[in-house]
Amino acid sequence: MKLLKEYIQKNGKAIGPGILKVDSFLNHQIDPNLMMAMGEEFKRKFEKDGVNKILTIEASGIAIGLAAAYAFNIPLVFAKKKVPSTMGDFYTANVYSFTKNKDYTICVSKEFLHPDDRVLIIDDFLAMGNAILGLKSLVEQAGAKVVGAGIAVEKGFQKGGDLLRENGLKVESLAIIDSLEDGVVKFK
């Protein structure tokens, strides 16, 4: 997506090793025009897939997920990274974070995922693919169907995208980064 790539080139910072800082428009401060445009783009890419729910993960997925949900006019559900004491029955999955080198548990209340759901997973970054696999597991535990994954920034030099596609998942990334060497961002 041209607009996202322009934002990354203009405002993103490649910080080693292999990390792209996008705090000024995506991960900390959020640009609403970019978010809404990304939501529309996800709608174009998945509009024939019968999506009736968006699933993302807190925190940074929520803004993009909301934009996609708004474009489709369907609900957004976000997985939580801590099991709330007020939550009744829930689906959980364990996710290993390669970037942070630790495991965490994600959960969604059983109230918000049902067997007849056709779920589009949305996230800000795709690196090793573990967060997407965890979200996919939550959907499958509910007996629902994952129709695909919409990603803002895929790090093409990490394995996640290939792994998910080889496993038959439809993955659409709005910007795929080939390399982040010497502070220079190169797209595929």
CB of 143 to ligand G4P, least distance (A): 24
State the Cα–Cα distance between residues 4 and 79, nearest whole angstrom.
Answer: 25
Using the rule CB under 6 A, which residue among 22, 113, 142, 152 binds ligand G4P?
22
Quote the CA–CA distance of 167 and 186 in Å, as a whole number.
Answer: 26
In 3D space, the residue among 6, 11, 51 whose CA is nearest the CA of residue 28 turns out to be 11
Q: Does residue 27 belong to the site contacting ligand G4P (CB under 6 A)?
A: yes
Contact call for residue 19 and ligand G4P (CB under 6 A): yes
Supply the minimum distance, in Å, between the C-beta of residue 85 and ligand G4P: 21
Q: Is 184 helix (H, G, I), strand (E, B) or coil?
A: coil
- The span from the CA of 163 to the CA of 81, in Å, is 24
What are the CA-CA distances from residue 106 to residues 33, 61, 122, 143, 181 (Å)? 29, 13, 15, 17, 32
Q: How far is the CB of 16 from ligand G4P (least distance, A)?
A: 10
80 close to 109: Cβ distance less than 8 angstroms: no
Residues in region 123-152 near ligand G4P by CB under 6 A: 124-131
DSSP letters spanning 70-97: HHHT--EEEEBSS--TT--SEEEEEEEE
Helix (H, G, I), strand (E, B) or coil at 117: coil
Q: Which range of residues in 17-25, 69-77, 105-113, 114-122 is near ligand G4P by CB under 6 A?
A: 17-25
Q: Which one of 65, 148, 150, 160 is in contact with ligand G4P (CB under 6 A)?
A: 160
The answer to whether 99 contacts ligand G4P (rule: CB under 6 A) is yes
| Distance of closest approach, residue 161 Cβ to ligand G4P, in angstroms | 9
Span interacting with ligand G4P, options 1-9, 18-26, 85-93, 114-122, rule CB under 6 A: 18-26
Query: Does position 98 bind ligand G4P by CB under 6 A?
Result: yes
Residue 20 binds to ligand G4P (criterion: CB under 6 A): yes
The binding site for ligand G4P (CB under 6 A) comprises 19-22, 27, 59-61, 97-100, 124-131, 155, 160
